Amino acid sequence: MKTIGIIAPSGGVDEIKMNNAIAFFENKGYKVKLAKNIFDKKRYLAGSDKDKVDELHNFFEDSEIDMIISARGGYGAIRLVNQIDYDLIKNNPKPFIGFSDVTALLLMIYKKTGITTYHGPMACSDFGDFIPYPNPLLQGEGMMFSWNNLIKAINDEKLEFDGNKIYREGEARGIIWGGNLATVVSLCGLDFIPSKDFIFFAEDLNEPVYKIDKMFQQLININQFKNNCKAIVLGDFLNVDNREWLEEYFYELANRLEIPVVAGFKITHDRDKITVPIGKESVLDGENLFIF
């Protein structure tokens, strides 16, 4: 039986949601191992940075654990990136999964080790509403959509996703790379951008349009980003203040950079989400994104 390790690198964890998520994974035939700090609280954090890093190292070294899933996002992962032993992770590779604030770890692990990381569902955020009784088969479709997409991605299957909105048409090739926009930008000042061509994917939540503009501008101001970014794939930008302004801005961004920009992918804080394997080769052709 395979084992899922659940860590808490960011915000504090709700015990009820965690127990529901454990029930979901066990229903799928997995054993579950929890980090020692999983229910620790320190202000808005899941305990101390040292305990988080120690558990991250322990879980990568633990040969019983087959994949590591983050409990939730929030804030805290950026505090860890300069304390991680990336050689330890490189020598003990396994799928590491999360989104939102955990983007910081996904991108830094990929940058420092070359190991594919997975922008995908998290234990409490996506499976914390699972109720095993009376009939687990009657659970919402969102959990199964997200779970099935995660399993396809970590099993190295060829992935094909369809967008539904083209801001600038074209074809591009490169590794797929990105995540939560605000968290990507929080890494500015570190060596985090790939040194090869990439297709940048992004999503966010509760950000006004001017901040979305500002965050893309921060990245564009970095020559390595501007030179290596060959296309942009947009997920959901939820709860923005002005949808019309956002549409205008994405057209402006596409025409300014003169690269393909496509939206409508289920990369999101919402219920149904795809898993994107960071660092895998990819092709954007019109509305279609292929990852292999």
Gyration radius (Cα) of the chain, Å: 18
Rounded CA separation 52/84 (Å): 10
How is the chain split into domains, by residue range?
Answer: 3-154, 159-291
What contacts 91, CB < 8 A, 6 or more positions away?
A: none
The tens digit of pLDDT for each residue in 261-283 reads: 999 999 999 999 999 999 999 99
Rounded CA separation 37/13 (Å): 10
The tens digit of pLDDT for each residue in 80-112 reads: 999 999 999 999 999 999 999 999 999 999 999
pLDDT more than 70, % of the chain: 96
Question: What are the distances in angstroms from CA 129 to CA 223, 273, 289?
Answer: 43, 16, 30
CATH topology of domain 159-291: Glucose Oxidase; domain 1 (3.50.30)
The band of 158, judged by pLDDT with boundaries at 50, 70 and 90, is very high
Choosing among 3.40.50.10740, 1.10.10.10, 3.40.50.11270, 3.90.220.20, the CATH entry for 3-154 is: 3.40.50.10740
pLDDT reported for residue 151: 98
pLDDT at 137 > cutoff 60: no
Structure tokens at 246: 């956002």
Mean of the pLDDT values across residues 34-57?
97
